[in-house]
Every structure is written in C-alpha cells, then in structure tokens.
Chains A and B, each alone.
Chain A
Amino acid sequence: MNRQKCEVLSAKRWGVYHSITLVAPEIAEEARPGQFVQVAMPPGRDFLLRRPFSIHQASRTGGWAGTLEIAFTAVGPGTEWLTTVEAHDSLDVVGPLGRPFPLPRAPTNCLLIGGGYGAAPLYFLGQDLRAKGSRVDMIVGAKTQERVFKPVEAKRLSVSVSTTTEDGSLGERGNVTDVLPGMMARCESKVVYACGPNGMLRAVAEYCSEQGIPSQVAVEELMACGMGVCWTCVVPVVHRDGRGWSYERSCYEGPVFSGARVWWEKWLGGRSTPVQTPPEGFRLEEMTAEGVGTWPPG
C-alpha cells in the first residue's frame, strides 16, 4: 500500500465511460488484477472521502511501465469532478488495495464475466491468465450497447466472447446469466471470475455453486477509507470451515471473495436459488430485520 502524488498522463472518454491514465510507478509495480486504488477529492469541497476505482490496467514493463489506468462513469459529485481532470493535473492516490483475484495454480479454462464498467479489471486479469497459459473466454454484459465495456478488446483477449445487452442493442438480448450455462458448457470452463453489479455477481456465484465450479467475484460496497480501518465496506462471509460467518471488509479481506462463501441472502436480501444453507452455529436471533423471513425457508 503506497500513497503517491500521480501525474495524469491522459484523460480520455469513450462512450459513457471516462478513463484516466496515471503515472504511478510504485503502485503499478505492486498492482494485481482485482485490486483497487483510492483517489483523493479536491480540498475545499463538501465531499471529503476518496473514491475507489478498480485497476483497469497496470503496466509493469514496456513503454508504458509505471502507469495505471482507471475507468469510471460520472454518478455523483466525486466522479463528476474527476471528468474535469486533464493531462498534467496531479491526483493523490493510495493503492494498490485489497485482495486480488487468485490465479489458478495450473493453466485451465477461465470464464471472465463483466457487467457494465465492472468489466474494467477483467482485461488486466485476462492478460495475466493468458500469460500463465490459461484459456480465457468472456461474457460482457450491459444495459445498452454504449455501456458495453470495450467489446473489441474482449475479442482480442479471449478465445470466445459472448455479449449481452438488456435491450438487445448489441449481442444477445438479456443478462449475462442467460448465456452463462451455454458458455460454461461450450468453453468447458473450470473457474469463473466475475465483476459487476452485486445482483449479477450473486446470480453468477449461485449458478457456479450449483454446478460445483469455483467462482471468484469482486464485490462493491460503500466504503469510507479503503485501507481496512473504518469497517464500513463489509460483506457477510461464511467462514472457511462452514461454521459461523462474519462481516469481512471488502477493502481488506476483499474485494475479491469466493462466490460460494458470500452469504448473499444476508447481504442483498431476497431468497437465493438454490436456497443457501446458513452456516453451522447460526442462530436465528443473529438475523436483522431485513433478513427475517428468508430463513428458515417456508
């Protein structure tokens, strides 16, 4: 974890997405796919907290060595301000933060699933997986065509790509989960990596659990510090031994978690299909109001 004043090398825009490339040698050197950075906001405004961005690209070698790229859409005052940042401006960046995507020990068939700008870290991951000899296939989904994140690069990176949009403006009409079973069978995927809206991650993780395929998902939860001290960005995670659960920090123990260990029902509400078994040692009184009624089933 480093804190650096980083010069903006370039600020670009493609479709609804903005991207900023930073000169950040210390952070880029350590960065692994799935990790993120915290970008400080300008002083003298009424929004104070840093904004977290997953690392879209980090170049450790070659002509762009020591650079880092983040991608985002303008959704609030912080990201609105970031769209005004120009080349040669300076940003205060802390990173790399969090647990990266674990890579398979031996080369295997990997399916990468991205929703909206959530696809951003998957390109960095795909390069690492390919460099280590794994096969990469991708599903890239979004609401509409202009929100599909870099479909051309997805093709360049993967053996096969399936694109979905909710309105059918690009690729298949529907969600990534509609094409997931077909892709998994066709590509003989042995591990699934996903990043995107939490509801999408849940659907992917639950399907993978049903199929007995390991999934690794990068979650998103509201975060104040990003450095492991504020305990706001937590996600309910079942302990490794299956006995009990705890709220784990998406900035420290995450943002990448095993999809099978995230307790989706507790976190996002509703009921899972198949119904998740609550961890052993679980007591009903531990449920908060929003969870009561989802367990026990029926």
Chain B
Amino acid sequence: MAARVSLRTNLAGIQLPTPVLAASGTFGSGRELAGMVDLREVGGIVTKSVTPRPVKGMPTPRMAETPSGMLNAIGLQNPGVEAFVEKDGPFIEQAGVPVIVSIAGRSVQEFAEVAVMVSKIRGVVGIEANISCPNVERRGEVFARDPVAAADVLSTVTRMTHLPVLAKLTADVTDIVEVAQAVVRAGAHGLSLINTLLGMAIDVDAFRPRLGGVTGGLSGPAIRAVAVRCVYEVSQALPDVPIIGIGGVVDARSAVEFLLAGATAVAVGTANYFDPHATVEIARGIGEFLAAKGMSTPEDLRGRLVTPSRPQEPVYLGG
C-alpha cells in the first residue's frame, strides 16, 4: 500500500502547495489566465520581470519557433514597477497562489529600487532577481555572466527586503557553479536554474535573422538537457541551497528529472504557452509518479540519483 502523497513544498522558507511553478514571463502575474486556469491549483507564479521604469521592448518579430523549442526577444517589456504595484498588486493580494516577483534592472541601484517597492505587496512571498535575461542592449548588463557583478546585485537585494530572494542564473557561462557559489555567499536564499540560452535563427529565403532583436533566448525541451546538467552540478556543489529547475519541463517525467538532479521545485515555461494547464497537470502527474514508486513527498526524490561512484575514465578508441 503506497503512502499518501503530499506535494507541499518548502522552497527557501516559501510554502508552496505543489513543487510546480510557472516560470517568469510565461504566465504574466496570472491575471490573463485566471479565467481559464484555477490558480489555487498552481504551485506558484513567478511574474514577468519588473523594472524601475517602463520598458518598451524589442522590435518584432519577437518569436521564432525552433526544433523542440522557441526563441524569444521581448527585451523585458513591462509597465514599470509603479504601474505593476498599482495594477497587479491588488490582483496578487487575492490571487490565492504564492507569487514570486521577478525583478530586473540595469544597475544594482535599479534592482534595489524595485525590490523595495514590490516587497510591500501583500501576497508576494519571494523575489527572483533576474540577472540573466539575454535580451538586453549591452552584454555587460547580464550580471550573471560575472560572479562579482552577480554577487553585488544579490547582496544589495537581500538587504533591501525581508522576503526570500532567488537568483536566476544563465548557463551561458564557463562555470555556472562559480556564479552560484558567489550569489549564495552574497546572501541568495535559493537559485532558479536556468534562464533561456542565447540563440539565433535565420530565414534563409530572406537572408535575414528571424528575430527583430537578431539574437534571442532559446527555451523549451531543446534546452532541457543543459538545464538538468546545471541543476545537477550546482546541487552537487551546494547541496543545501534550494533550486528551482527550469528548462523544457513539459510533463511529470521531465519534472522528476530535475527533482532527481537536485531541484526542490520546477518551473514550467514554454509549455504554458501551448498548455495553459501544464503546471496543474504536471503536479498531478508528479503525485501519481511518487505514489507508483511508493514515495510520499517530492523531497523523497532528492539524493536518490544513482551515479557512478567516480567518473568513468574516458575511453579512447584505438588508443
């Protein structure tokens, strides 16, 4: 007889009804989808990133479908933190779902400004510092590419809010573990791994890039293996740090992959676009998976990955 399954999850002190959240930029603040999806069944919502002032965003086309994924180049379009607090604040207060606000900025000061303002919204349970959006004008603004710059943002943001702060990192770095260690030392309470990977697609008939922004962020199952590897590497190095696994989660089995790699929760991104109920259905599927394995919580999957005791020696053919 299988034990009763509970999906309740504690993520860096944030209580979630299920370990399946909606990833930033794929669910708004939940307002647009509230008429169709019962938000109380969603594990949590990470909002679209908010900046201090309104951002108009990139020219179109902003989207290109690619094999098993898509590229986007939105450029952080948002109405700015004041309009966000005014319009989304009241919705978040009564949404009945834990909301983590994603914040972004061009400087440490801008991150701090937004963190202070959104922390005042009741119903907000955490902050995700988006230091890894690839669609910014200057590459230097991708703080997560430099451990020192990344740590600067996190040490400031964590001082500006009483809420748990997650750092969203990119895999477009030589060593993601080094960046993860730097932001955790700076005070980050958890990590969101990973943001979209910088990519590009070309229309060969028009001889033009398929995105108005030329390059964009690749998401969907196409990047899942990279994301699982990042979660695995970081959780090996920082076993006590809670991680949200993000990248190509489309069903319960892909979610379990991240949990086995060491994630505490997962966030669904691209799948929300074609399956607005994905977060709800994946949570249900994880419950069924756990029951079938005789497990009672998602936590039971942590540390259950069986890997060779030491890395295999490379085999050189003809050596």
Taking beta carbons and an 8 Å cutoff, which residues of A are in contact with B? 1-3, 40-41, 46-50, 94, 221-225, 227-235, 246-247, 252, 266-267, 286, 288, 290-291
Binds A, one of B53-61, B117-125, B255-263: B53-61
Chain B contact surface mostly: loop
Whether B72 pairs with A229 at a CB distance below 8 angstroms is: no
Give 12 A-B pairs besides A40-B275, A47-B65, A288-B212 with Cβ atoms closer than 8 angstroms. A1-B35, A40-B274, A48-B270, A48-B273, A222-B64, A224-B70, A224-B270, A229-B25, A230-B72, A266-B59, A267-B60, A291-B59
Whether B56 pairs with A49 at a CB distance below 8 angstroms is: no
Whether A234 pairs with B77 at a CB distance below 8 angstroms is: yes
Quick one: given A48-B220, A224-B70, are A231 and B62 in contact (CB under 8 Å)? yes
Tell me if B319 counts as interface (CB < 8 A to partner A). no
Tell me if B95 counts as interface (CB < 8 A to partner A). no
Quick one: given A1-B35, A3-B36, A247-B57, are A50 and B274 in contact (CB under 8 Å)? yes
Whether A234 pairs with B62 at a CB distance below 8 angstroms is: yes
Whether B67 pairs with A46 at a CB distance below 8 angstroms is: yes
Whether A48 pairs with B68 at a CB distance below 8 angstroms is: yes
Complex: A252 Cα to B77 Cα, angstroms: 15
Quick one: given A49-B65, A290-B212, are A225 and B275 in contact (CB under 8 Å)? no
Whether A222 pairs with B36 at a CB distance below 8 angstroms is: no
The 3 A-B pairs at the shortest CB distance, nearest first, are namely: A232-B63, A228-B32, A225-B273
Q: Chain B contacts of A229 at CB under 8 A?
A: 25-28, 32-33, 48, 272-273
Question: Which single residue of chain B is at the shortest CB-CB distance from A2?
Answer: B36
Whether A232 pairs with B62 at a CB distance below 8 angstroms is: yes
Whether B60 pairs with A235 at a CB distance below 8 angstroms is: yes
Quick one: given A230-B26, A234-B60, A290-B212, are A48 and B277 in contact (CB under 8 Å)? no
Q: Chain A contacts of B36 at CB under 8 A?
A: 1-3, 94, 227
Most A Cβ at <10 Å: residue of B27, B74, B212, B276:
B276
Complex: A232 Cα to B26 Cα, angstroms: 11
Q: Which of B28, B48, B77 contacts A247 (CB 8 A)?
A: B77
Tell me if B69 counts as interface (CB < 8 A to partner A). yes
Complex: A234 Cα to B56 Cα, angstroms: 10
Whether B276 pairs with A232 at a CB distance below 8 angstroms is: no
Q: Chain B contacts of A227 at CB under 8 A?
A: 32-33, 36, 273, 276
Whether B273 pairs with A222 at a CB distance below 8 angstroms is: no
Question: Which single residue of chain B is at the shortest CB-CB distance from A45?
Answer: B68
Whether A290 pairs with B32 at a CB distance below 8 angstroms is: no
Whether A223 pairs with B28 at a CB distance below 8 angstroms is: no
Minimum distance in angstroms from A26 CB to a CB of chain B: 11
Q: Chain A contacts of B54 at CB under 8 A?
A: 246
Q: Chain B contacts of A49 at CB under 8 A?
A: 65, 70, 273-274
Complex: A50 Cα to B276 Cα, angstroms: 11
Interface residues of B in 4-39 (CB under 8 A from A): 25-28, 32-33, 35-36
Whether B25 pairs with A230 at a CB distance below 8 angstroms is: yes
Whether A231 pairs with B68 at a CB distance below 8 angstroms is: no
Complex: A223 Cα to B273 Cα, angstroms: 10
Complex: A48 Cα to B64 Cα, angstroms: 12
Q: Chain B contacts of A291 at CB under 8 A?
A: 59
Minimum distance in angstroms from A265 CB to a CB of chain B: 12
Q: Which of A40, A233, A246, A252 contacts B56 (CB 8 A)?
A: A246
Complex: A228 Cα to B272 Cα, angstroms: 12
Interface residues of B in 61-107 (CB under 8 A from A): 61-65, 67-70, 72, 74, 77
Complex: A50 Cα to B63 Cα, angstroms: 13
Whether B68 pairs with A46 at a CB distance below 8 angstroms is: yes
Complex: A227 Cα to B36 Cα, angstroms: 10
Question: Which single residue of chain A is at the shortest CB-CB distance from B37?
Answer: A3
- 30 examples of A-B residue contacts, CB within 8 angstroms: A2-B36, A3-B277, A40-B274, A47-B65, A48-B65, A48-B221, A48-B270, A49-B65, A49-B274, A50-B274, A94-B36, A222-B61, A222-B64, A224-B72, A225-B273, A225-B274, A229-B26, A229-B27, A230-B25, A230-B26, A231-B48, A232-B62, A232-B63, A233-B60, A235-B60, A246-B54, A246-B56, A247-B56, A266-B59, A288-B212
Quick one: given A227-B33, A228-B28, A229-B33, are A3 and B67 in contact (CB under 8 Å)? no
Q: Which of B28, B63, B70, B270 contacts A233 (CB 8 A)?
A: B63
